[in-house]
């Protein structure tokens, strides 16, 4: 892999955040993490070179993943977003409403997430 891809991961579950951070760093991604939506948006705004992809939980206190996706897509229409959730009957509907590129229900295999990241990033690079 040539240049290191930059990912922003937003989740209010510390264990999930740590697991994703550790796994994806080992896979040679440049990872920024946020434990809530507000911090995630601040990081997104403050990163001068932007991110290649966002992974966000859908249901969080103060600002939801749906709101994060909406805001991110307005400012950065080409920025892919993977929504992850362990909550609700129809999380896909929520994420689709917010225009997520993919919705994954927790729990999921980290290797499956990584293959989806690679798939989305290669599609983005081929457009």
In a domain, 86, yes or no: yes
Quote the pTM value: 0.92
Q: What is the pLDDT along the chain (127 residues), one digit of tens a residue?
A: 458 999 999 999 999 999 999 999 999 999 999 999 999 999 999 998 999 999 999 888 889 898 999 999 999 999 999 999 886 666 566 666 678 999 898 889 999 999 999 999 999 887 6
**If DSSP codes are grouped into helix, strand and coil, which group holds residue 8?**
strand
In a domain, 102, yes or no: yes
Structurally, how many domains does the chain consist of? 1
Q: In this structure, what CATH number is given to the domain that contains residue 14?
A: 3.40.50.2300
- Alpha carbon distances (Å) from 103 to 4, 37, 47, 98: 24, 17, 24, 11
In a domain, 1, yes or no: no
Range of the domain at 78: 6-126
């Amino acid at each position: 892999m040539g240049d290191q891809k930059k990912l922003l991961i937003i989740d209010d579950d510390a264990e999930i955040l740590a697991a994703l951070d550790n796994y994806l760093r080992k896979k040679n991604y440049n990872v920024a993490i946020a434990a809530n939506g507000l911090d995630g948006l601040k990081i997104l705004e403050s990163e001068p070179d932007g991110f290649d992809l966002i992974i966000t939980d859908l249901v969080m206190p103060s600002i939801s993943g749906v709101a994060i996706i909406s805001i991110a897509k307005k400012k950065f229409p080409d920025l892919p977003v993977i929504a992850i959730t362990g909550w609700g009957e129809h999380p896909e509907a929520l994420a689709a409403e917010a225009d997520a590129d993919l919705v994954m229900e927790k729990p999921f295999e980290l290797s499956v997430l990584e293959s989806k990241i690679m798939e989305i990033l290669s599609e983005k690079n081929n457009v």
